[in-house]
Amino acid sequence: RISCSVGHDHANFTAQQDLFELINICVMSVFYFNIPWIIDQSEYNCSARSLSEWNSRGKVNTAQGIYYTVSGSIFMVLYILCLIGMVRGKLLKIPCYRLMFFNGIIDNMDLLVGSFITAYFDFTGAVFCSSIGLNWFAGYFSWCVWFGASFNCMVLALNRVVEMIPSANGFRFLFEGKLLFLWMVLSLVLMAILPFISRTHPYNSMVGTYIMSPVITDNATQESSRFAQFLVPSYNVFLVFVLLTLYSSLCFTMIKMRRLVKRGNYKLQIQLFTQALFICSTTAMAALLYCWVGFFPAPPEMAIATHILWQFSHGVHGIMYLCFNRQIRGEVLRLFGMKKQQLTRSVVTIQSTDRRRL
């Protein structure tokens, strides 16, 4: 009897141990707990080759570097002008414009790493082990600001839904008073936590984008499996789902409003639909393509296109504001001394406030 009891307890202990191991494997496949300013030499050890050997494993991409520098400069200048226009036009009194302004700051941080730091890596033909410190930082920074900017995009989409869809108006309190700033604080907190629960995504000039693997060994397949982490693709899939759900609801409401609106308001809604579809599609496509490149074989051209789309998905916001938001465009033109007649009607953007509140 004692023998059977011991055997039964041992079996239970083994089953529990197996369950804990399974849970641990699942958790570790999603999260990577670490201190981000300490490089784990057991996994990111570059001592196998000399610096000159690591440099030879990279590829100088002068054309790409020039493109990222020029396009990034254009995107940032136009975007910053739009942010100045928001301040000059006293638009920050409106809650949605505060979210837009905050999102603009994060977007420009994204452009900084996605354009200028990336251009430096392309000009120097960098791989992880040829510029460990900067690449380690850029790998974390690029992932964190992408998370923050895309999270802000979801918040702005939610804000537009609760403002424009009558059945969701009861949730307007989520964007009033201190709760409005709570969204911004939450975005910053999430960005600060991410480096402690995820891996860095170093840039590799041979691939042309930021990837999960540092490419230290010669066995790319095994190394990719070892450094694979499901947190990034899981978040990207969640991002696409939320954006498509919110913007689909918004666009469906706009189509229904077509029957109710017969005057100039319908033109404003068409402009809103165009911006929503355009900006949502660029963000969603960038997220989906990064999932594909991270886990499936892809040609180098696709990896480069993914990075360009990522950069574009943040830089295009400034262009869209200038093209479709008359208030911001008017303030930017007045900034350069170009007098324009004061407009009495404002064009709504996907991230602008409800016209009844202007």
Residue located via tokens 């600001």: 145
The answer to whether 203 and 139 have CB atoms below 8 angstroms apart is yes
Average pLDDT over residues 153-177: 86
CA distances from 186 to 61, 116, 151, 196, 233 (A): 38, 27, 10, 16, 21
Q: What is the CATH number of the domain that holds 345?
A: 1.20.1070.10
CA contacts within 13 A on the Cβ side of 283: 33
Whether 2 maps to a domain, the answer reads no
3-state secondary structure of 45: coil
Residue located via tokens 């254009």: 74
Average pLDDT over residues 62-82: 97
Average pLDDT over residues 40-52: 92
Distance CA 283, CA 245 (A): 14
- Least confident span in 137-141, 168-172, 287-291, 330-334: 287-291
326-335 and 300-324 are packed helices; what angle lies between their axes, rounded to 10 degrees? 80
Note the pTM of the prediction, 2 decimals. Answer: 0.84
Residue located via tokens 């930082």: 137
CA-nearest of 103, 50, 47, 22 to 316 is 103
Whether 25 maps to a domain, the answer reads no
pLDDT of residue 27: 66
Burial class (CB in 10 A: 0-12, 13-18, 19+), 230: middle
pLDDT of residue 333: 92
pLDDT of residue 351: 43
Q: How many domains does the chain have?
A: 1
Whether 11 maps to a domain, the answer reads no
**How do residues 221-254 score in pLDDT, each as one tens digit?**
788 788 888 888 889 989 989 988 988 887 787 7
Whether 221 maps to a domain, the answer reads yes
Whether 130 maps to a domain, the answer reads yes
Whether 20 maps to a domain, the answer reads no
Whether 23 maps to a domain, the answer reads no
pLDDT of residue 143: 92
Distance CA 242, CA 227 (A): 27
Whether 9 maps to a domain, the answer reads no
On the question of pLDDT at 272 being above 80, the answer is no
Average pLDDT over residues 73-87: 95
**For the chain, percent of residues with pLDDT exceeding 90:** 44
- Least confident span in 16-20, 29-33, 277-281: 16-20
Residue 64 sits in which domain range?
31-357
Place 44 in a pLDDT band, splitting at 50, 70 and 90. very high
Place 355 in a pLDDT band, splitting at 50, 70 and 90. very low
325 phi and psi angles, rounded to 5 deg: -110, 105
